[in-house]
């Protein structure tokens, strides 16, 4: 089982700002925990602040990964291109969010990812990623 964790814009700042919403742990530290927790899974991690990079990574996943755990961050709520890319590949995508986007501003209630995702996990902090990996097993 080979999975890609793909994070979108500003998630490289995790653990440095807004800890009340996003927690105090950097994603690279959490990624080490995930690798230890899921030692039977081949996990790769990529992050980009650029929409087109995320589209390219989704396209490149075809035939390489068994699934993608995707937190498209703010692009979740704006990106037709990322939604189209998910539709264009057979790689199953599980959408994750750290926060409960439905408990936040109205503009975070829409997702261009969800209609094309295998499932959605949100609101469990960084644990959302572990739950998403678990869903592939
Ligand atoms: O809750 C999530 O996982 C989000 O995808 C995070 C996005 C937000 O735009 C989505 O509505 C929900 C924002 C990521 C920004 O991450 C930061 C982390 C630390 C400091 C500042 C931003």
Segment 12-33, tens digit of pLDDT: 999 988 888 888 899 999 999 9
Nearest CA to ligand 1 atom 15: 10
Residue whose entry in the numeric block shows the structure tokens 């057979």 = 90
Nearest CA to ligand 1 atom 19: 14
Residue of 30, 65, 75, 97 with catalytic role:
97
pTM, to two decimals: 0.97
Q: What is the largest CA-CA distance in the chain?
A: 39
The answer to whether the CB of 60 is under 6 A from ligand 1 is no
CA distance 91 to 110: 22
**Where would I find the beta strands (DSSP E) of the chain?**
2-7, 42-47, 67-71, 93-97, 119-122
Active site residue 75: no
For the four alpha carbons of 36, 37, 39 and 41, in that order, the dihedral sign comes to negative
**Domains of the chain, CATH where assigned:** 2-136 (3.40.50.9100)
pLDDT tens track for 36-73: 999 999 999 999 999 999 999 999 999 999 999 999 99
The answer to whether the CB of 24 is under 6 A from ligand 1 is no
């Amino acid at each position: 089982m080979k999975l890609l964790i793909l994070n979108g814009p500003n998630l490289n700042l995790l653990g440095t700002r807004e800890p009340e919403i996003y927690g105090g742990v950097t994603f690279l530290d959490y990624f080490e925990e995930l690798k230890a927790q899921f030692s039977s899974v081949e996990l790769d991690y990529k992050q980009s602040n650029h929409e087109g990079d995320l589209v390219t990574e989704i396209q490149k996943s075809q035939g390489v990964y068994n699934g993608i755990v995707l937190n498209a961050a703010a692009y979740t709520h704006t990106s037709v291109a990322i939604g189209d890319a998910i539709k264009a590949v057979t790689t199953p995508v599980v959408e994750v969010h750290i926060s409960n986007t439905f408990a936040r501003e109205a503009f975070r209630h829409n997702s261009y990812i969800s209609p094309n995702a295998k499932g959605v996990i949100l609101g469990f902090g960084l644990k959302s990623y572990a739950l998403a990996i678990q869903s592939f097993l």
